Amino acid sequence: MIIRFQADADLNHNIVVGVLRREPKIDFQTALTAELEGLPDNTVLEIAAREKRILVSHDLKTMPFHFAEFITTQTSPGVLIVPQSLPMQEAIDSLILIWTASKAEEWVNRILFLPI
């Protein structure tokens, strides 16, 4: 199955734009489209899981904890954490590489901190 991404509300929108400019075939839904602004992490994880999308977030503080709790009771398509200190081009390259070189099934219930 092809990877589909979901941007968290805290993710720099320029990362989404950069990914889609380089590879327009990637299905990368914005937080605005998914109406994620202001929602708690567990709800964001539920929405991403329902839509079968890997969540991409800058949230290093709370998302890993909420993800660990989430996968004790539900299945997640996965979470990718992008440190805000990571150069934008490196984040874009990593996301495109993940999309190109792997399948959605490989990310189920996994969390990865970029860069890869």
Q: Cα–Cα distances in Å, from 100 out to 1, 3, 105, 116? A: 12, 9, 13, 13
Residue 90 has pLDDT above 90, yes or no: yes
CA distance 44 to 55: 8
116 — pLDDT class (breaks 50, 70, 90): confident
The per-residue pLDDT for range 27-81, each reduced to its tens digit, is: 999 999 999 999 999 999 999 999 999 999 999 999 999 999 999 999 999 999 9
CA distance 69 to 3: 23
Mind listing the domains of the chain with CATH numbers?
4-113 (3.40.50)
